[in-house]
Structure 1
Amino acid sequence: MAGLLICALGVGTAPAALAQAMQPDMGKLLATGGVSQIEGAGGGGLTPWALITGYGTRDSFGANAHYTTVRTQDYALDTVGAAVGFADCVEFSVAQQVFKGTGGALDGLRIRQNILGVKLRVAGDAVYTQDSGLPQIAVGAMFKQNNGVSGLPGVTSVKQLGAMKESGVDYYVSATKILLERSLVLNGTLRFTKANQMGLLGFGGDKSDKYQPMLETSAAYLFNRRLAGGVEYRMKPNNLKVDNEKDYYDAFLAWFPNKNVSVTAAYAWLGDITILNPQRQKGFYLSLQVGF
């Protein structure tokens, strides 16, 4: 609560207004809460943005729930989660990922991971400071717990695949700029991580066990108030001998029929997952978000 108060005061909200923050107002512009990122945070599909999830203004709050699925030639990833943003300053999120092998050498593989996230806006306003070059800036962390491996004979833990740990924390700073006159949204995120394949294959490894800075970028064009399209890029570490991990890319369309629903569809390039299946994975991404 102290961090929320400092954040709210820092962007000009009086304590009396903060006291009314339990009344949702849905006062933010359509689409300015972003969509649900694949690890649960508000942002794009692959990377978190500095935007705070939901449509609550600095005098209110917003929340959402989401379901996301990714399907490639040989794998499936399903994510469910929820997030809440307070006073357009602080965001909390929770998500669970289930990764499954659906073909190839890892058919039958199943890995589950839980993620808790927190994000704090520390400077700027992506919408209301159009005359300033300063973007909205937020810092965040994702606490991840890998819950083991099944369906792979003789393997029950990612440590048996070379990972150092089954849990870890990603730290990041994001900067987001919305250029309303040009209908553009630009984002850059710097993530410090040890996670292998977002943590699905554990943290650290037999090649490297140190935090590394990874760049993530997004660019979106607003075709109109309800439809946006763009591209994303996410650098990945390469910690495991069994996984020559590649960077992620996608091209997406996001539709916002109203402030309660959004649908994001994308085509994603995810590289190969392990040396047991060297085929580079690509396929469709679909995410449904509901909230206020």
Structure 2
Amino acid sequence: MTVHISPNPVDAGAEFTLNVAIKCDPPWDMCTGRLSICDTNEHEITQLVLTEFKDQESRGSTVLSAPAKPGPAKLKILFKADHNVGLTEDMQTEVLLVIPPHASSVAVWDVPPAIQTEKEFSFHIGLRCSAGCALKGRPLEVFDQNDRIVATAITIGTWGDTQALHYAKVTLVAPNSLGTYEWRVCAPSSGLEVPHSRAVLKFPVTFVREGKYEIRINATNALTGKVIPKAQVVAHPFRSITDSDGNATLCLPAGEYRLLVSAADHEPYIIEGTVKDDMEIMAVLVPETDMTEIELEREYM
């Protein structure tokens, strides 16, 4: 008797498929035979009926639900003697079911790339379960670089078109300390009917001085003169993206910067210098030379 479980490991409380194949010598069709599927206490959970005779094997399958408690669990498969299908003596085997806690994961998005000190800022955090559990109303904790809890948020509905990413919005006031720090968001594992793993995700936050100078960037194609929308504009750690007119604005503190403007199918535009006043920069991007003849024709018609 051959037994296969799919998937295995299986999430606590989730469904799995139990497949059984029996091969005899000489081979014969044992379809309609019934096997007892028992738990570790040898209590019958269900019966599996052999429904197919193929490749000299009698086969059957059934769908079961895994126990809600994580850990190893044995299933006993018993095929009692049945002269109607030619089985003259009992046949049995055991299979081990591996049940880990549901795997939880957390996500962080919309963190501003450069956060002004002592100013309010917001971002989103989310929680997801590998088995798709509804995790609305679960707490998420945000820790700073000193391991202090700076925010506790409660998940609400699912984000956008996702099926299981429950999210919350966090709004904080930035500390009066410059630099990039490692923060983390944690999802406690306690208080759930089905056990879940504890989820942790680290993410960077960068705090900067107030930007006093306005840097206006206009991105255009070097050959056509057309504006380039959705170009990435970066003067680390500040960043922006050009609008439909090819314009973007950065507000920078005084200092030395390396400005990078990049767009698909174009060589990046790079300029370095000192910011000590408002500025206007015309970023002229040269198309990449490995564009095909057809792509070039489409670009410049």
From the CA coordinates, give the structure whose radius of gyration is larger.
Answer: 2
Q: Please, what TM-score do these two structures have when normalized by structure 2?
A: 0.21
